[in-house]
Amino acid sequence: MTQQPRLIYPDTIIWNLLCDQNIDPRTLLDSLRAKGFTLIVGFHTVYELARNFERDDAAGNARGRQLFSYLKQYLDLDIPSTKQLWELIMAEDEAFTKNLSVIDSLATSQESATEKCEVEKLADGIVEGGVKVFLEERKQFARDTKAQQVARINERAKLRDYLRAISEDELATWIPKETLTMSGVNTLYQRFLLRAGPGRTPQYVHGLLSFARKSVEES
């Protein structure tokens, strides 16, 4: 039985670096596959990279087209796509409830085709569909919350000092640990799982996050 390659999910920083260094997609993928790995891209990555078009200037539009022209080469080489973030969270929710050891993180063929179509349009500088909706929501969210966030941090010097004291070397362990605090639990609860049913209490969400973390550590 052929073993499936392990999936590497690059964040937007990595995609920017790969593009800037003009790394040949086929050479990179062949090298990774020889070691049992391959790259995977998600809808959220597409949305975040599309924020270059938010600047609405020549430089931002050029950068957006450059990044998506580069990303398109990987999709043309059939790298897999992940499900939407919300779908991944609900898949983890189901795995936790049914005590499953793995989830199916891959998008359907139809979803992958939709993602590829959006990337092709973005490579030509065309922003529409789900990407446009996402960018408009981000702009509104930024307008609604920027002042509140600045005021909150300014009022809480203790919080500001606490965040500044976290070194770059500590981030890898600090972020997972912070996820399991009540603040992290409530963020996931309020944004995603509150609508999933009466059994999804904050205590349940804490268990779900612990389960997902353990699954990653054991994979």
- pTM of the entire predicted model: 0.70
Predicted local confidence at residue 128, as pLDDT: 79
Would you call 197 helix, strand, or coil by DSSP? coil
Backbone angles phi, psi at 7, to 5 degrees: -95, 135
Q: Positive or negative, the Cα torsion across 54, 49, 169, 86?
A: positive
Task: Point out the residues of the chain with pLDDT beneath 70.
Answer: 1-3, 134-135, 137-156, 189, 191-198, 211-219
Q: Which residues pair with 209 in a beta bridge?
A: none
Domains and CATH numbers, the chain: 1-127 (3.40.50), 135-165 (no CATH), 167-219 (no CATH)
Q: CB neighbours of 159 closer than 8 A, spacing ≥ 6?
A: 152, 153
pLDDT tens for 105-137 read: 888 898 899 889 889 999 998 887 777 776 676
Q: CB neighbours of 84 closer than 8 A, spacing ≥ 6?
A: 42, 43, 44, 107, 111
Determine the Cα–Cα distance for residues 22 and 18; give it in Å rounded to an integer.
6
Percent helix, strand, coil in the chain (nearest 5)?
Answer: 70, 5, 25
Predicted local confidence at residue 65, as pLDDT: 95
Determine the Cα–Cα distance for residues 88 and 192; give it in Å rounded to an integer.
11
DSSP for 31-74? HHHHTTEEE-B-HHHHHHHGGGGGG-SHHHHHHHHHHHHHHHHH
pLDDT tens for 12-28 read: 999 999 999 999 999 99
The conformation of residue 70, written as its DSSP 8-state character, comes to H
